[in-house]
């Protein structure tokens, strides 16, 4: 059974073709393809050790995600449909602009390879991808297992929030051994702001004897927090065992049938509503454009007189000229604004990094980098990441503002003037990971050698002096002096080493910050360029469409002038019929969107 929106869309596409508008038809066909092949991303999120990975495994009945007793999941894992089981690790680009690297691995080794990454050396691992043949995933569902939020290593958490941006729905996981904590509720609220489609899954009900009470309490917590989300209790252990033994009753007991039904109904079905809405908007805009020339033609005929038809023709010509003149304007606005944006963003980033560097310098005026370097490194990393995130968020904000400004300077006002999304999907992958600077260690042997070197001078100096007094070269005084000199040299040397270490640390930090700046500003510039390109494409398509519409009206006006009377009669009838057809189609579109598109504003 095809969805109702599909019929309407197909009819609209046919109407576009019939009205000589292949450009519109193309655009709608594009939309149709995207709606027919939706990747529905469902994010599995929650605090560490709540059973997220095990939940995903139990949903697809296969050990695709690594599970363990300690922190295990370190990168998001994408589980999607594939004809044959396959798996791959995706590593981040080492140089900006090169695409991410995808390394296929045997599916049974994926789990161990991902957790092997934990050591931190393979820090550039971005995500893991798994494809398995499952009916559940058939509809384009992608399950994304994420690292726990609130873990001691903030890097894991960051990738979870990056994945959240692309999610269509979220399964929030909390185990039944304890109620939702304050931090979990906060996380839930945060999730709701970017993706309102949330189901709370209560896991591990097999080991919690009191899970029913926890369920009730959680329900109360959710109500109090004003979160309207379904709560589903499940047990992955029971489900996996049921799969092994083929025990239907046990499967029912695990709560998974209910969860899967909920995913099907609330998430997959909800996607249909979403699709209907976007399709309705696109189709409505196309029909409006089709209606305009027909109406033009009709009104041209209604006035009948050739003087009027000539006036209409002139008017159409004038509007085409106007459009050409104004399209130059929006192009200038776009180019200017984007140039400003890039330099502002770069200035902001430079300012932020300079502040960090100043802080570093201040710290290493006094502190010894050999002690607490790890802490410093973490601090630096945190600060840089923060600077990068704020800077990047600003870039996104500004570019949206630019889009609006360009839209304003566009010749006509339309509903779909603003692009849906101008940001590249992989924009977040592009921020390259950072290398750690090394700090030289110095050996004790060197120290002893320095001491000896100093003491040698002392022995010689005083030995010579005292040898004048007839004592041997090596005597008590010269040896004493030697020891003193040695001590002093070591002191001086270690002081000097401290200063050298501080200088080295400063240099390492500033080199690191510079590297970061260069890499990140390049990334930002790339992103900005990408955004500019997509904005330009978007607006030029719109402009072309508009021009085509105007030309069509001009052509029909010209035809009206040329046509003889009887022909005119026939065409009049045709045009009326076409208009009726289009209005009918528009009404269907309106029904589809649930009355959310504005009325067409014409009467046939």
Partner 1 sequence: MMSSGQMSSGQMIAGETLEQEVWALLEDALTVYRDSPRAVAWLRGHQARFGEPVRVAVAGAPRSGKSTVVSALIGEEFVPTGATTWYQDGPQPKAHVGQYEVPVARRDGKAFVDAPDAERVVVEWPSRSLRDLTLIDTPAGTPVEHVYGEADAVLYLTRHMHTTDLQFLQTAHDHPVARVAPVNTVLVLARADEIGGGRIDALSSAKQIARRYRREATVTPLCQNAIAVAGLLAVAARTVRQDEFAALAALASLARTELEDHLLSADRFVGEDFPVRLDPAVRRGLVDRFGIFGVRLTTTLIRQGFDTQVKLTGQLVQRSGLGELRDSIGIYFTERREVLKARAALLGLDVVLRAEPRPGSAGLATALERILASAHDFRELRLLAALQGGRTRLPGELDAEASRLVGGLGTDPLVRLGMDYEPTESELRHAVLDTLARWRDHAMDPALDHGQRRAASVVVRSCEGMLTQLVG
Residues that bind partner 1 (CB under 8 A): 47-49, 51, 54, 68-70, 150-152, 175, 177-179, 181, 183, 204-211, 235-238, 241, 250, 253, 371-372, 374, 444, 447-448, 451, 486-487, 490, 494
DSSP string, 95-112: STTSPPEEEEE-GGGHHH
Going through 243-388 in order, the beta strands assigned E by DSSP cover none
Cα(388)–Cα(513) distance, integer angstroms: 11
Cα(207)–Cα(324) distance, integer angstroms: 71
Reduced to 3 states, what is the DSSP secondary structure of residue 50?
Answer: coil
Cα(303)–Cα(558) distance, integer angstroms: 14
Contact (CB, 8 A) for 136 and 260: yes
DSSP string, 377-431: HHHHHHHHHHHHHHHHHHHHHHHHHHHHHHHHTSSS--GGGS-S--S-GGGGGGS
Contact (CB, 8 A) for 31 and 278: yes
Cα(360)–Cα(387) distance, integer angstroms: 15
Distance of CA 509 to the CA centre of its chain: 29
CA-to-CA separations, 198 to 172, 229, 334, in angstroms, rounded: 7, 6, 38
Contact (CB, 8 A) for 49 and 202: no
For Cα atoms 132, 133, 139, give the angle at the middle one, nearest 5 degrees: 105
**H helix and E strand count, the chain:** 16, 9
Q: Which residues of 331-347 are buried (b: 16+ CB within 10 A; e: fewer)?
A: bebbeebbeebbeebbe
How many CB atoms lie under 10 A from the CB of residue 515? 14
Residue 305 tokens read as: 């007189």
CA-to-CA separations, 308 to 292, 321, 351, 566, in angstroms, rounded: 18, 20, 64, 18
Distance of CA 139 to the CA centre of its chain: 22
Helix (H) or strand (E) segment spanning residue 164: helix 154-164
Cα(570)–Cα(561) distance, integer angstroms: 15
Residue 382 tokens read as: 């945190």
Cα(447)–Cα(455) distance, integer angstroms: 12
Residue 452 tokens read as: 């000896």
Helix pair angle (270-303, 22-36), 10° resolution: 170
Classify the C-alpha dihedral 421-32-417-337 as positive or negative.
positive
Contact (CB, 8 A) for 434 and 534: no
How are strands ordered across the β-sheet holding 77-81?
101-105, 86-91, 125-132, 77-81, 141-145, 40-46, 169-175, 198-203, 230-233
Cα(513)–Cα(518) distance, integer angstroms: 9
CA-to-CA separations, 42 to 117, 549, 581, in angstroms, rounded: 24, 41, 40
Q: Do β-strands 86-91 and 125-132 pair in parallel, antiparallel, or remain unpaired?
A: antiparallel
């Amino acid at each position: 059974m095809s969805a109702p929106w599909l019929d309407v869309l197909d009819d609209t596409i046919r109407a576009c073709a019939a009205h000589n508008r292949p450009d519109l038809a193309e655009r709608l066909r594009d939309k149709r393809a995207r709606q027919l092949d939706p990747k529905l991303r469902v994010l599995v999120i929650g605090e560490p050790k709540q059973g997220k990975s095990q939940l995903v495994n139990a949903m697809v009945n296969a050990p695709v995600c690594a599970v363990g007793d300690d922190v295990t999941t370190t990168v998001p894992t994408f589980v999607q449909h594939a004809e044959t089981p396959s798996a791959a690790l995706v590593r981040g680009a080492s140089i900006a602009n090169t695409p991410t690297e995808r390394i296929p691995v045997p599916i049974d080794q994926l789990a161990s390879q991902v957790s092997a990454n934990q050591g931190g050396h393979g820090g550039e691992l971005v995500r893991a991808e798994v494809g398995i043949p499952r009916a559940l995933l058939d509809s384009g569902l992608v399950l994304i297992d994420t690292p726990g939020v609130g873990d001691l290593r903030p890097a894991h958490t960051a990738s979870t929030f990056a994945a959240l941006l692309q999610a269509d729905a979220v399964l929030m996981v909390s185990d039944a051994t304890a109620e939702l904590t304050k931090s979990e509720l906060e996380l839930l609220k945060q999730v709701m702001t970017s993706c309102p489609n949330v189901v709370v899954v209560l896991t591990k009900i097999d080991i919690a004897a009191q899970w029913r009470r926890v369920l009730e309490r959680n329900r109360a917590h959710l109500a109090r927090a004003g979160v309207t989300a379904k709560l589903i209790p499940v047990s992955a252990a029971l489900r996996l065992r049921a799969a092994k033994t083929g025990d239907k009753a046990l499967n029912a007991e695990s709560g998974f049938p209910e969860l899967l039904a909920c995913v099907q109904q609330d998430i997959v079905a909800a996607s249909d509503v979403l699709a209907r809405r976007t399709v309705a908007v696109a189709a409505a805009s196309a029909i409006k454009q089709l209606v305009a020339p027909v109406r033009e033609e009709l009104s041209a005929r209604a006035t009948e007189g050739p003087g009027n038809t000539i006036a209409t023709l002139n008017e159409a010509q004038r509007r085409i000229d106007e459009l050409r003149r104004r399209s130059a304007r929006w192009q200038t606005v776009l180019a200017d604004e984007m140039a400003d944006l890039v330099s502002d963003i770069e200035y902001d980033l430079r300012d932020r990094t300079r502040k960090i560097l100043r802080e570093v310098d201040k710290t290493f005026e006094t502190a010894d980098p050999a002690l607490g370097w790890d802490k410093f490194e973490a601090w630096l990393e945190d600060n840089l990441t923060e600077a990068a995130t704020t800077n990047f968020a600003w870039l996104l904000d500004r570019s949206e503002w630019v889009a609006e400004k360009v839209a304003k300077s566009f010749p006509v006002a339309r509903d779909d003037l603003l692009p849906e999304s101008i940001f590249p999907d992989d924009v977040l992958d592009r921020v390259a990971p950072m290398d750690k600077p090394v700090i030289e260690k110095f050996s004790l042997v060197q120290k002893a050698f320095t001491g000896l070197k100093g003491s040698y001078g002392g022995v010689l100096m005083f030995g010579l002096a005292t040898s004048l007094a007839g004592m041997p070269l090596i005597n008590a005084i010269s040896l004493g002096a030697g020891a003193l000199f040695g001590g002093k040299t070591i002191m001086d040397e270690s002081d000097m080493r401290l200063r050298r270490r501080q200088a080295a640390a400063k240099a390492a930090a500033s080199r690191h910050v510079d590297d970061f700046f260069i890499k990140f500003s390049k990334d930002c510039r790339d992103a900005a360029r990408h955004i500019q390109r997509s904005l330009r494409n978007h607006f030029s398509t719109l402009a072309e469409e508009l021009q085509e519409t105007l030309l069509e009206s001009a052509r029909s006006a010209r035809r009206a002038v040329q046509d003889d009377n009887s022909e005119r009669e026939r065409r009049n009838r045709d045009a009326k019929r076409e208009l009726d057809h289009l209005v009918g189609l528009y009404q269907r579109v309106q029904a589809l969107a649930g009355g959310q598109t504005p009325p067409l504003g014409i009467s046939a």
